[in-house]
Amino acid sequence: MVIVKDIEVYSLCEHHMLPFYGRCHIGYIPSGTVFGVSKLARLVDMYARRLQLQERLTEQISKVVLESVNAKGVGVIIEARHLCMMMRGVEKQNSTMVTSSVLGEFRDSLATREEFFSLIGRRA
């Protein structure tokens, strides 16, 4: 399993036209080809640059990673803060939205998913 953690994400919420930003973690199981780290970061940027929903962004990244290198499985997690949430009240200042998308072996195998979550420091 290849994991790249803490890729910075800056995007714009399409509901509120306000920024959301945070970190993206990508794991995949190569079937030969691997990505350079900067290539993965560029893919994230490419999809983040448009008006987005965090859920859709997460899914789009997982699909493009799966297809680009014909990976056996992919897992993507995005943890982000949304200005549209933060501006609603003091108590929302520190809330983070977490979204995940798992495909292929990451979806089929609990062990693979657990390995991914533990390597990025989360519980499955």
| Site residues (vs Zn ion, CB under 5 A) | 13, 15-16, 84
What are the CA-CA distances from residue 103 to residues 60, 63, 67 (Å)? 11, 8, 11
Query: In the bound complex, what is the minimum distance in angstroms from residue 16's beta carbon to Zn ion?
Result: 4
Active-site annotation holder among 8, 16, 55, 114: 16
**Is 24 marked active-site?**
no
Is 67 marked active-site?
A: no
Tell me how far, at minimum, the Cβ of 18 lies from Zn ion, in Å. Answer: 6
Which of the residues 8, 14, 55, 114 is marked catalytic? 14
* Residue 54: active-site member: yes
- In this complex, which beta carbon is closest to Zn ion, that of residue 26 or of residue 85? 85
Query: Rounded to the nearest 10 degrees, how much is the dihedral formed by the CA atoms of 103, 8, 122, 26?
Result: 30
- 16 given a catalytic annotation: yes
DSSP letter assigned to residue 60: H
Kindly report the number of other CB atoms within 10 A of residue 44's CB atom: 26
Tokens representing 99 are 């979204």
Min dist. Cβ of residue 67 to Zn ion (A): 28
